[in-house]
Structure formats: structure tokens, C-alpha cells
Amino acid sequence: MVNSVSADFSATIQAVGYCYTPYKQKFGIPRQPGLVNARGFIKLAGALNDPDSVRGIEQYSHLWILFSFHQNLEQGWKTTVRPPRLGGNEKLGVFATRATFRPNGIGQSVVRLHAVNNENGQVTLEISGMDLLDETPIIDIKPYIPFSDAIEGAQGGMAQQAPELMRVNFTELARNQLAQIAQQAPNQALEPLILGVLSQDPRPAYKKKADDPKMYQVALYDFDVFWKVINNQIHVIEVKEGMLAKSRHPKVR
């Protein structure tokens, strides 16, 4: 007879590092990894901030990262959730979704690895395609293995197909502002990031089939992006430096 696992199992988990991304607020973060080619980096922390901990990792093009939904932990979880993919009207079990409100608050994403740096005693992994809030604690890092991790013929249930993208337009004011920003911070690639994020339509599910005159805002890098939905197209009205988007961390190279 197989012994049952003790119901009172517990373990202490510490962050092995922190991920720094353009996403300064939860609203606007892509709902899955790889949908937006955003650049970011992971700074290793504590005893793991050692070149030996990532020795050989550069041979892999992609990594699995396990992380904490750290801003959701205090809000708890429920056995059922309303996935945005189903319009927020149908309930599914929490384990049948990738909902952010989970029993242990753990998320998992695949990211692309671009470089490994070791400068002034700080080991940093440069990555892209992440769907993480800025300063997300990283619990573990594992190589992505194509022959076993990419399963041919796998069924994706309600999420078998990639989401449809919306057209994104810019007002003349927004275009001029982006041109000025590109001169001041050419390494941030703000315009393609805006296109990638907003084409996913980050609005709540219940808003997507109704007339919606509301002005929305997302914080990306050091800027607030203001936009509306007009005739089922997204129009970027204004892009300006904002307090919510202020970053305390160095820019991604």
C-alpha cells in the first residue's frame, strides 16, 4: 500500500532572484508568456547570486521560470474562477485554469534567454517574452527542453488558439510624444511594446462587447499610456511620463 502524503506538509520557499520588467501595474500584463516581445532581466539574489549557479545555462535558448504572484497572496483563493477567455461568465476549477489567485500563489512561464551577465558581483539573466509584474520574486529557474516540453498534438482546451489581436492606432500627439521619447531613451523600444500590449486588449472581459468610452491607462517603463476603444479599434491618445510608471531600476539594455 502506498502511504498517503501528510496533509500538514509545509515548506519554506525563498526567492532565488527578482524579475524586472516594463510592467509597473497588473493591468496590461499579457495573459500568457510569449505574446509580447518585452525585454526584462532577472537578478539573482542571496546565495544563488553566484556565477556557478548558472554555469552552462547559456546553452539553452529558453527557460522555465517559477515565480510568486506576490501581490495576490493576501487576497486568498477560491476553488473556482471565471477565466477571461470565457468572457468572465463561466466558472472553472482553479486547477483547470492559469488564474493568478492560486492555493500557493505560484506561476510558471517560458521566457527567452538572451544573455548572462556578471557585473560588479551581480549575476543577471537578460530575458524576453515574460508576463510578469515588475519586481516579481523568482522561485526557481529551469532549462526548457524542446523534445520533452513541446508536446505535439497537445490539447489546449478553451485556450487552443491564440487570442485575436485588435488594431492599434496613434493620435498625432501620441506619435510626436513617442518620437521624442525614442530620442531620449532609444533602448526602451516603447512603441512596439505598446503595440504588443494593447493589441491583446487588456480590458476586463465584460467590457469587450459593449460600447466603451472610458479612457484607460497602462504603465510601461517610465511612461503612462492613455488609450480608448473606438469602433472596435484601440486608439492611443497620449503617452507621457507618469508617477505610477517610475522605475527605481536601471533600464534594460
Element (H, E) at 180: helix 172-184
Residues making up the chain, counted from first to last = 253
Q: Which of 134, 153, 172 is the last residue of a domain?
A: 153
Distances (CA, A) of 172 to 67, 76, 216, 217: 39, 44, 18, 18
pLDDT score recorded for residue 142: 97
Number of domains in the chain: 2
The verdict on 227 and 170 lying in the same domain is yes
CA distance 206 to 4: 43
pLDDT tens column, 165-200: 899 999 999 999 999 998 887 777 899 999 999 999
Same-domain check for residues 116 and 220: no
Rounded CA separation 56/40 (Å): 20
CA-to-CA dists, residue 189 to 178, 192, 194, 247, angstroms: 10, 6, 9, 16
Checking if the pLDDT of 154 tops 80, the result is yes
Evaluate whether 70 touches 137 at the Cβ level (below 8 Å): yes
CB-facing half-sphere around the CA of 161: CA atoms within 13 A:
4
**Mean pLDDT, the chain, integer:** 87
CB 235 within 8 A of CB 172: no
- pLDDT recorded at residue 192: 92
Residue 118 and residue 224 in one domain: no
The answer to whether residues 35 and 200 touch, using CB atoms and an 8 Å cutoff, is yes
Residue in 58, 220, 195, 39 with CA at minimum distance from that of residue 130 = 39
Asked whether residue 127 falls in the same domain as residue 183, the answer is no
Are 199 and 234 within 8 A, CB to CB? yes
> Which amino acid is present at 103?
P
Does 197 map to a domain?
yes
What is the Cα–Cα distance from 137 to 16, expressed in whole angstroms?
8
Q: What range defines the domain where residue 174 resides? A: 164-241
Q: Give, in order, the Cα–Cα distances in Å from 14 to each of 47, 66, 71, 94, 166.
A: 11, 12, 16, 24, 39
- The pLDDT of residue 12 is 85
pLDDT, residue 6, reads: 59
pLDDT class of 247 with cuts at 50, 70, 90: very low
Shared-domain flag, residues 173 and 61: no
The answer as to whether 250 is a domain residue is no
- Evaluate whether residue 9 is within a structural domain: no
Question: What CATH number is given to the structural domain containing 214?
Answer: 3.30.2310.20
> Does 146 lie in the same domain as 169?
no
Neighbours of 31 (CB within 10 A): 15
Percent residues over pLDDT 70 in the chain = 91
Distance CA 146, CA 50 (A): 27
Which class for 227: exposed (0-12), middle (13-18), buried (19 or more C-beta within 10 A)? buried
CATH number (domain holding residue 133) = 2.40.30.70
Average the pLDDT over each of 80-84, 110-114, 131-135, 242-246 and give the range with the smallest value.
242-246
Whether residue 27 is found in the same domain as residue 143 = yes
SS3 percent helix, strand, coil of the chain, rounded to 5, is: 20, 30, 50
Angle CA(57)–CA(62)–CA(65) in degrees, nearest 5?
85
- One domain, residues 116 and 58: yes
Q: What pLDDT shows up at residue 244?
A: 53
What's the pLDDT band for 253 if we cut at 50, 70, 90?
Answer: very low
49-58, 135-144, 215-224: segment of lowest average pLDDT? 215-224
In a domain, 127, yes or no: yes
